[in-house]
Structure 1
Amino acid sequence: MYRDIAYYEYSKEMLKQLPKGAFLTVKHEDKINTMTIGWGNIGFIWNKPIFTVAVRYSRYTYELLEKAKEFTISVPLNKDLKKELAFCGTKSGRDFDKFKECNLSCENGKVLSTPIVGDCELHYECRVVYQQAMEPALVDGDIKQNFYPNQNYHILYYGEIVACYIKE
């Protein structure tokens, strides 16, 4: 059973888990993919609750997200999904059905057509309201050296949180 919550109600727990991994899921037509994220922001911009994610151009998720313009974030709070997060963070959805390979449950979201990872407790459904390509010339030198040695930059997606809920 899921209970609707305010987008900020579990932000401390989400931010504590995020460096360990969460699932970003996207669906376009009959294609569904989930990937592991370890970076993101939650906040309030344009009078809207916003979840910001960074997706590299090289990712299959990027291809789908460019068409779908919506995504879900599923955050494991109590369940140990380290193996699943590792798989989804290192394998491509072009080559694998990650839900099947990891035995993850793909459940319908409440508002959007993009599903959630039902094995997680905390969920955000987001509709892209803005996106921004990183400008390489403006990236700090240390960050550029440590995270972009091959110039594989991210595009930032700002998703309006249209639903937020927790599994009880």
Structure 2
Amino acid sequence: MKKVDFSQVLNDYNKILPKGVFLTTKNDGEINTMTMGWGTAGFIWNQNILMAPVRKSRHTHQLIENSDYFTVSVPLNGQLKKELQFCGTKSGRDYDKIKELDLELAEVKEAEVPIIKGNDLHFICKIKYQQDMLKEKLDQDILDKKYPDKDMHTFYYGEVVAVYKEE
């Protein structure tokens, strides 16, 4: 793997994000990953930032709440579709997704949270801010369509402390 600049891969990330990427976190020795299909990437507070939305009902939410970091692993070339499907429909409460899918993890020096090998890009993010969505502040149309059961997201803003590209 080689370290690359955030700005070099931002367009690729934004193109692939709607198809799904892996958001991984770790707390108290437990590692979990989930599929993330939307979020934002950009420049806030003079820092490169990825914003990761996680619904409060998700197992990942429990873990990321007690972590300082998350990683985002991005399959740019259509690989790992079955794994993304599984991680987007199965809960870490019921499955050890890493074991179940035989995903290979790799440690990174910047954080205790690993990356998922076999992806093309990896973002290591230090959580700088988080905010719970307030349904009272959300447009009614979005609330009705996207949150019929009022299972809101928490937004995690992570400073991108490193980006790696698999070769």
Name the TM-score, length of structure 2 as normaliser. 0.97
| Correspondence for 1:66 | 65
CA contact (8 A) 1:51 1:126 kept: yes
SS in 2 for 1:9: helix
| Correspondence for 2:10 | 11
**1:48 to partner: Cα distance:** 0.9
Aligned counterparts of 2:40 and 2:53: Cα–Cα separation in 1 = 9
Alignment coverage as a number of residue pairs: 167
Aligned counterparts of 1:57 and 1:135: Cα–Cα separation in 2 = 12
| Correspondence for 1:125 | 124
Aligned counterparts of 2:10 and 2:153: Cα–Cα separation in 1 = 23
**1:79 to partner: Cα distance:** 4.7
Q: Identical aligned pairs, as a percentage? A: 48
CA contact (8 A) 1:26 1:68 kept: yes
The Cα offsets for residues 53-78 of structure 1, whole Å up to 9 and x where unpaired, read as 10000011100001112100000012
- The one-letter code sitting in structure 1 at the alignment partner of 2:12 is E
How big is the alpha-carbon RMSD for the aligned residues of Structure 1 and Structure 2? Answer: 0.9
| Correspondence for 1:83 | 82
| Correspondence for 1:154 | 153
Gaps of 5+ in 2: none
Aligned counterparts of 2:153 and 2:117: Cα–Cα separation in 1 = 27
SS in 1 for 2:65: helix
Q: Does 1:21 align with 2:49?
A: no
The Cα offsets for residues 87-124 of structure 1, whole Å up to 9 and x where unpaired, read as 00011111111111112111112310100011111000
Q: Does 1:99 align with 2:98?
A: yes
The correspondence of residues 111-122 of structure 1 with structure 2, limited to 5 A, is 111-122=110-121
SS in 2 for 1:68: coil
The Cα offsets for residues 114-167 of structure 1, whole Å up to 9 and x where unpaired, read as 000111110000011000111111111111111100000000000011111100
Aligned counterparts of 2:43 and 2:64: Cα–Cα separation in 1 = 22
Gaps of 5+ in 1: none
| Correspondence for 1:36 | 35
Aligned counterparts of 1:110 and 1:155: Cα–Cα separation in 2 = 27
Aligned counterparts of 1:71 and 1:93: Cα–Cα separation in 2 = 16
CA contact (8 A) 1:36 1:85 kept: yes
Q: Does 1:138 align with 2:137?
A: yes
More displaced 10-residue stretch of structure 1: 49-58 or 96-105: 96-105
More displaced 10-residue stretch of structure 1: 83-92 or 137-146: 137-146
The Cα offsets for residues 18-74 of structure 1, whole Å up to 9 and x where unpaired, read as 111000000112100000000111111111110001000001110000111210000
